[in-house]
Every structure is written in C-alpha cells, then in structure tokens.
Amino acid sequence: MEAKKYLKRIKWVVLMSACGLACICLPRYIKQRAGWETEQREAVTSKDFIKWVDFKVSYEALCDAYQYDLESYGTETHLEWIPLLAYLGAKYGGDFRDYRSRDMAELTAKLTEENRTIEELTEGMKYYDYYLEAYTAVLGGLVGEYKIEKRGEESGEEGSAAPETPEIQYGLRAFSPVAKDFYYTDYDDFGVSRSYGYRRQHLGHDMMGQVGTPIIAVESGTVEALGWNQYGGWRIGIRSLDQKRYYYYAHLRKGYPYQGDLEVGSKVEAGDVIGYMGRTGYSTKEDTNNIDTSHLHFGLQLIFDESQKKESDTFSGTEIWIDCYALIRFLYQNRCETRKVEGTKEWERVIQTEWVE
C-alpha cells in the first residue's frame, strides 16, 4: 500500500516537473519561432547574401500583377510585375493567403493616377528590398521581350509560302514544364515526407502524367547536370541565364530520357523539348524504373551565392528550394506545342521563340 502511494507521489512530481518545464520553455520556443522568420527575412550575414526565401505569392496575385505589367507595357507608366509583388510582399509579411485584388488595384492607382513612384511608396518599408531581390530571383526574366517565328501569307505560287520572319513581342516568355495537349495532374506536395535513402522533405513539385510526355525547358539557360542519380533517376539540371535559378527535372524516361543532342554545357531556349516523363530513380542501378507512378519531379532552387548550389538529393540546409505550385499554375497559360519527329523517339517544338535581352 505504501509502495503504491510512493509511486503515485513520484508520478505526480514528474508530471508537475514536466508542466513546469513546459511553462518555462514553451513561451521561449514560441518567441524564438516568431522571431525566426524575421531573422531569416533579413537573411544577411557577413557574406551579405540571402540565405532563405519562403515563396508564398498566390496564383491570383501572380496573374493580377502580370496583367498590369502586360497592359501597361509601352505606356508612360510601365507597371512591372515584380516590384508590385514585392510591395505587397512587404505589406503582407510574405504571406499572400489573404491577398485581395483590391490591394494591388490601389497600389497601381497610386502609381498611375497619382503619378507616384514605387521608390516613393516603399520608402521606409523595412523589408521591401529583401522581397524585391527574393522575388526577382524567382521570377526574373520570365516576362519580357521575345522573338517568335510566324509563317507569313502564302505567295501566289502554289504550294509555297513566304519565309518565316521573327516578330518581337512582349509578355510571358517562360513555359510550363509539360508540353501542350499532354494531360497531367498535380497538387501542392512541397515539403511532404520522403523516406527512400533517408527521411527528408520533398523539395519539388510532382506532375503526374504518361510515360514519354515531352518535358519543356521553362526558361532559357545552360545545362549544368545530365545523368543518373539514385534519387532522381535520369535527371536534367538547367541554370538560368542570370544564374539565379536552377531547374531540376527528374524521374525521366527509361531507355531514352533526354533529347538526343543534349549534353552538359548545351544552351537551351525557353520552350525547347529537353526530355521525356518517366518513373526512373530510387535505385543505385542506372536506368531502373523504381517509381510507382510516372511523373515529372520539378524543382526550383534559388542561388544567391555559389555555396548554395547543390542538387535536391544532397540537401544540407544551405540551398534554397521553393514551393513552386502557384508558379506552375501560372505557367500553365503558356504551354509549348510539340509534334512527333517521325522515325524517332523524339518530339520537337512547333514554333521557335528566342528571348530578346
């Protein structure tokens, strides 16, 4: 009986001690978590480059900002979409869950109707410069001038056509990573758990579709990685022209993963066919299908310093991979049309475009 009372007392003491410890530590933890995002947002050390970006711009905000940019291009007040988004990013603390189109409309009215500048409006906004640099790293170059080859009017001679001539246009010049007319499904799966090799977060966006679906270069750049690794299977890594973005396309088709002329160092134009959807990976043995569902793993890494450049299967905490679900939805409006190259396993784009720098 005494033993039971003693054990009961011990349990009570342990419980009260745990509660007391929680009362001491929990407020400190909450305070640390509250300050963590602010510290990361400042993102500057002695090396003075951004260490962290949590890209939470909504699909609706991307569409609104782009529309203002597109409609005002060539006017006296060109409303560039990235500064618009950076202003709202600073206003919202980076969280666009409560984004309202009215907020952007009020901002653009100040710029156009009141003839104020973005510099005037952002003076004193503590984190505007951070969001401008961060969002430029994500979206820089995706909107701009480009040349597109269009077939002219047919000449009087039967069966012949006027030569294609480049025409400069302005707008969204980046592409969805999945070719036009090829079905896929997706959802926001960034950060979910993965266990192959070791327990880790999913640092990309999966787009489920049919094996052999043409995969498209989102933007112009240089191939920096091509080959096999056990996590991504056959994969391609492409660096943007401004060096800020590294695109990672993984789990490509067994046997014929890439476009035939692709190699490390190749230059690609936005819209080029670079490879084909598959389900390779999760194996140390090359050319192995070990993924249950065929899909493209699409990853986007931001690079502010070369020390941050690593592939997603070797995550060490220094690299910046972002949730690009909203961006993929936005890019859906510009899908590249492709056609089969007869007698081969390849597809090619129908209309050629070239960025104007």
Range picked from 19-28, 69-78, 160-169 for highest mean pLDDT? 69-78
Domain boundary among 111, 139, 167: 139
- Same domain, yes or no: 212 and 102: no
**Domain span at residue 302?**
184-351
- Same domain, yes or no: 260 and 315: yes
pLDDT for position 61: 98
Domain boundary among 139, 170, 198: 139
* Cβ within 8 Å of residue 140, ≥6 positions away: 82, 240, 242, 244, 245
- Asked if residue 135 has pLDDT above 90, the reply is yes
185: β partners:
208
- Same domain, yes or no: 128 and 205: no
- Same domain, yes or no: 105 and 215: no
Q: Give the SS3 label for residue 184.
A: strand
pLDDT for position 41: 46
Domain boundary among 106, 139, 172: 139
Residue 9 placed within a domain: no
Distance CA 310, CA 224 (A): 11
Give me the torsion for CA of 332, 329, 310, 35, rounded to 10°.
160
Considering only CA atoms, which of 220, 226, 224 is closest in space to residue 241? Answer: 220
- Asked if residue 258 has pLDDT above 90, the reply is yes
- Same domain, yes or no: 208 and 98: no
Q: Is the dihedral of CA 355, 264, 315, 230 positive or negative?
A: positive
Considering only CA atoms, give the Rg of the chain.
Answer: 25
pLDDT for position 307: 87
Residue 133 placed within a domain: yes
267: β partners:
222
Total residue count of the chain as it appears in this document: 357
- Same domain, yes or no: 244 and 314: yes
C-beta separation of 241 from 270 below 8 A: no
353: β partners:
148
**Number of domains making up the chain:** 2
pLDDT above 90 coverage of the chain, percent: 71
